Structure 1
């Protein structure tokens, strides 16, 4: 390293400029190391150092009309216009390097992040990595997947390397936008990021669905080949894509990107006959089934929450409620205890049942507010649904508070959980805020339960990374509950639990919290607004001051 470079390094360290340090490490690496070999089946990731005009020339293409003699008249329209490469020679570019080769993270730290992900987190979401693998195998296959696994792993071990892993992952994911060649590992990487990186989940899953569609993964569902391992891997990846998409679409008032007519019975039957299928696949199929029901709920109720549900929708509402009950009966207690994640497979069935039941039955409150009496006037036909919603919301809170094993899962579960738990709290606060003769709720007991939940989450997140979404949820939840209780004239003030009176400012001082979102983001969340998407808008409102 020259004297000038050494001086710049010292300045960068002095002013804490990681971007400059990363650039200097990259230059030093390029001078003294060789890169990893190009992995087989690699995608064509764009080199940011390549001039735009050269990239365009390297991929220049022509098009021609073709008449395939093997196909009939009823073909996909676009297949008659075929792309023809012009065989231009592209300027030579450096082989791809992953974030370890670039010196962005030490190999030992990357191994720790990978172990956290592969040994624990991956099992919460039914295994995205297709086979038991080492970090070196992942590196050979995909720098994008390597960055995704390291970023998500770092997020859950309070690692100082999260920021640089996150930055590298987003840069690599961005380079996929105009790439014309993709692999299954590209989709896996985007799904990994979408499940846990809440702030970019919707962007990532959108890209993953587009790539999967271009690769025609959706066709695997309608043409089972139970003896083919390739069919098995592609089909289960599409199932993962379906579930991840619904985590961040239906629950946020957005239409799903994956097909709404998912042929669940065909896939379930094929997997039951597939020699490669495991219990993780059964768990995955249970999620496909419950999210298929959620999709039906979404299209039945729509997103206009100002209007009451028409009486004509009552039979369908009842059928969906029965279907959710049947789903729970079919899958409860069905799974073995996992070596990696304990009894979560069965606990997940219980929580997803209550999440879905709450999502369905909460619509009984739509358009029910009477401004004249400042109360909820719920029709007799919807009274049972209103009370079922309260029951499910309460059950969610009670499970988090009372089940110690489940509490150990919270630093690991996908971001959907970090949304649904506060969703249940705010729903109950909204219900308690108005009189409603038709709704049976224990006011004092419910406020006490929410207080206990606040204390529980504060304790759990005290040792969690500050960037984790649940840290922001926990630090703001007490303010929301306290505000709701103080404005409720029907309920006497409760005594704070031991240790719970500690202010948010003191918590931040002790644990050096710097949440990704402002600690009060939940305060103005309007439950009866446009689905759960209000959480996102409230995040942004407080983040922007």
Structure 2
């Protein structure tokens, strides 16, 4: 209450009229605000906001990347490059609005994951809609039949499949289906307790998936401006014209730039990243692009949806992986395992019996079957070539894949090579199942078999296979097309390598008990097979123009065959390897080194063929006293070879091996004569390897005096220093156990305690289990 004082008086009017003493009280002290309560109130308010936002994301456990909307707000109007990215993303958004027409959630049952109304089906025929799952239901089909399980769900005979069927048959779940878009924000349950757990989500509805990708998870390679829209078109063109011929994984009619962006940002990123290495305008972005691809791989494993495109992205990332610095850092084999698991989880091993509605739907089914065949081939190529256990069993699709490439007019013309390689792996699988048939052996290898008979019998299968598929390539493909001709040229290459693996087992058995004259068949067949592998690489594959874009697998096979030829130069086999063959082996490996390091094949110093050429050159020059080889390490700063003084090196047994160089009167100045024991070798000095200063160069100007002592393994000290961080599968050749027997990398012969005293020719023991030595993945399709 406010007091009113008359002028010149100390008593207010109210107190004067009432006769009370007028006392003016001071202002009461205020209580300080409680800061703790205030902060807690703010926190509670923010918690409510955060919870609301998380509910709107449908999955409160998934981290959401930068959205296009926020990126648009954060972009400066003066940044023209980013403005172009936004415009391109807007065009993509418009182009995929009609993609993945769903007729509601009921469209994704076993018979029809994409059931659509008749009107939608007509529109899909007209605009080539994006059916992403196999199976379809007729428009007049009874609704009860359309309530079957989802194709990707487990079978009803297993517990989880039974729970899925019961959940889908739940009236509450069916009520949720009729709502079309199931909103899980009000259901806090997770796992099978959530009534919508088994209902299809964005993985089966391309429309929903595209919308979420556009707004929440566009590829970082685009967001950060690493590539422009024009770059993306060129990168996809490089992939389909140069890279896809090796893997035959994607269908250009399905995986366009727009559809790949809408289906799987991970696959979009991987295609752009692996193609950027061959993009001359921006080749420098390759390391950064692959970094984004690996980040996308991690995000694809933790978040998002399981899909065919996700498995395809992991396969590409494995096949065209950046060489790891060490084997324990390599992820290629893990990526393949992820792809196989995703494909199995999607039930791609089960044949679809639903009649396709249109050509687009047929392409989707072929796309899924192609992926499963490639998963099988990758799995078996790892198992049969490197001694790893296989994962995929030979199912109905694999057993009937011989004519798969021509079952539909929509099959790609390169699918012939895919079916061909599948049949080759089936032959090798039968061979390995027969020789690894001893249950009492730790490795399973049956040492009591007659490997001569087994090898000859399966070699007949390889011969029939080669003749049959040579005819098929001529009749069913256009060999005038360079890409088809290249696929056909892989047939002798892969067949010869398989034959080399096959006969190496018989060679090893003969070597253990002691080489006899009748064992010449193993030496001859191994030599011819390895020679054929190297010649195919030099004379056929490399001149095709496609090896510059090849995965590592082809180069690995050629290098392994070369290393096996070197093992034939051991003193123990001197009676079986003529001087003519010795000369041929040196010439072959020398030509292979020159070919692999040529600018037409190797892109840069870190490209796989360049690394293999450098390793093989070091392998030849790092010979030791028991390898009947020729060569020495010389850099461009060293004096001419004729000025090198002879030197000697003592062996553990006290003998001495002499290395000398000389120019005789009977040879021209450009030739050098090699003398050592009973062997002589003359080779031209022309065509020396072109190398950077300090890089090892193989030169044929050293003599070797063959000794008779036990073989020593290569000294890989300097060889490893040339690029151990990127040797990959070649690390198998650095294992001492590889050089102690005649097995191919990845295989081993069981140990025998008595063998070290009396077995073989040199009287020395064999390797520890080389099967435990892990080598890099070789993906051949």
Tell me, what secondary structure is at the counterpart of 2:390?
A: coil
Q: Structure 1's 529 and 299: CA in aligned 2 closer, same or farther, altered over 3 A?
A: farther
Corresponding pairs, count = 480
Note the 1:324-343 alignment, pairs <5 A: 324-332=462-470, 333-334=473-474, 335-337=477-479, 339=481, 341=483, 343=485
Q: 1:242-261 maps to which residues of 2 (within 5 A)? A: 242-261=376-395
Contact 2:602–2:608 at 8 Å: present in 1 too? no
| Compared CA separation, residues 537 and 497, structure 1 to 2 (3 A) | farther
- CA shift for structure 1 position 101: 2.6
Change (3 A) 1:209 1:538: closer
The answer on whether the counterparts of 1:475 and 1:504 sit within 8 Å (CA) in structure 2 is no
Q: Say whether 1:426 aligns with 2:508.
A: no
User: Are positions 1:76 and 2:158 aligned together?
Assistant: yes
Q: Is the 8 A contact 2:315 2:339 kept in 1?
A: yes
Consecutive unaligned residues of structure 1, counting only runs of 5 or more, are 1-22, 43-68, 371-375, 541-545
Alignment partner, residue 218 of structure 2: 97
Residue of 595, 603, 619 corresponding to 1:480: 619
* Other structure's SS at 2:694 match: helix
* 1:390 alignment partner, one of 520, 527, 534: 527
Distance 1:275 1:258 in 2: 28
* Corresponding position of 1:205: 336
**Deviation, structure 1 residue 391:** 0.5
Q: 1:458 to 1:280 in 2, by over 3 A?
A: closer
Quote the Cα distance in structure 2 between the aligned partners of 1:90 and 1:348.
55
8 A Cα contact 1:196 1:415, kept in partner: yes
With 209-218 and 182-191 compared, the bigger mean Cα shift is at: 182-191
Taking a change above 3 Å as real, the CA distance of residues 429 and 30 of structure 1, as seen in their structure-2 partners, is farther
1:75-118 per-residue CA deviation (whole Å, 9 max, x = no partner) reads: 23432233969934699995111111332333344333322211
Q: Which runs of 5+ in 2 are unaligned?
A: 1-65, 76-82, 102-146, 150-154, 168-172, 174-182, 189-211, 324-329, 629-675, 698-721, 747-769, 777-781
DSSP-derived class of the 1:343 partner: helix
Confirm whether residue 139 of structure 1 aligns to residue 261 of structure 2. yes
Supply the distance in 1 between the matched residues of 2:685 and 2:442 (Cα, whole angstroms). Answer: 38
Per-residue CA deviation, residues 281-326 of structure 1 (Å, 9 max, x unaligned), is: 2221111111122222333344988978432555443332111111
Aligned pair partner of 1:112 in 207, 229, 234:
234
Give the corresponding residue for 2:296. 172
Displacement, 1:535?
A: 11
Aligned equivalents of 2:404 and 2:566: distance in 1? 45
Alpha-carbon distance in structure 1 between the residues aligned to 2:257 and 2:467: 39
Spell out, residue by residue over 1:453-479, the C-alpha distance to the aligned partner (whole angstroms, 9 max, x if none).
112212247751344322211111111
Please identify, of 492-501 and 152-161, the stretch whose mean Cα deviation from structure 2 is larger: 492-501
Q: How does 1:391-540 map to 2 (within 5 A)?
A: 391-403=528-540, 406=543, 408-436=545-573, 439-440=576-577, 442-460=581-599, 463-484=602-623, 487-488=627-628, 492=680, 494=683, 496-500=685-689, 502=691, 505-506=694-695, 517=726, 524-525=734-735, 526=738, 528=741, 531-533=744-746
Q: 1:339 to 1:515 in 2, by over 3 A?
A: farther
| C-alpha contact (below 8 Å) 1:225/1:231 kept by paired residues | no
* Corresponding residue for residue 237 of structure 1: 371
Q: Counterpart of 2:51?
A: none
> Partners in 2 of 1:306 and 1:211 — Cα distance?
30
CA apart distance, 1:349: 0.9
Q: Tell me the SS of whatever aligns to 2:562.
A: helix
- Secondary structure at the aligned position of 1:182 is classed as coil
Contact 1:120/1:340 (<8 A) preserved: no
Q: The residue matched to 2:726 in structure 1 has which SS? A: coil
User: Which region of structure 1 is more displaced relative to structure 2, 439-448 or 377-386?
Assistant: 377-386
Q: TM-score, normalised by structure 2?
A: 0.54
Give the distance between the partners of 2:549 and 2:588, measured in 1 at CA: 23
Conserved in 1, the CA contact under 8 Å of 2:569 and 2:577? no
CA root-mean-square deviation = 4.2
Map 1:140-159 onto structure 2 (within 5 A). 140-157=262-279, 159=283
Aligned match of 2:490:
348
| Residue aligning to 1:360 | 502
Asked whether the equivalents of residues 248 and 414 of structure 2 are also in contact (C-alpha less than 8 Å), the reply is: yes
Match of 1:255, SS? coil
Match of 1:317 in 2: 455
1:288 matched to 2:422? The reply is yes
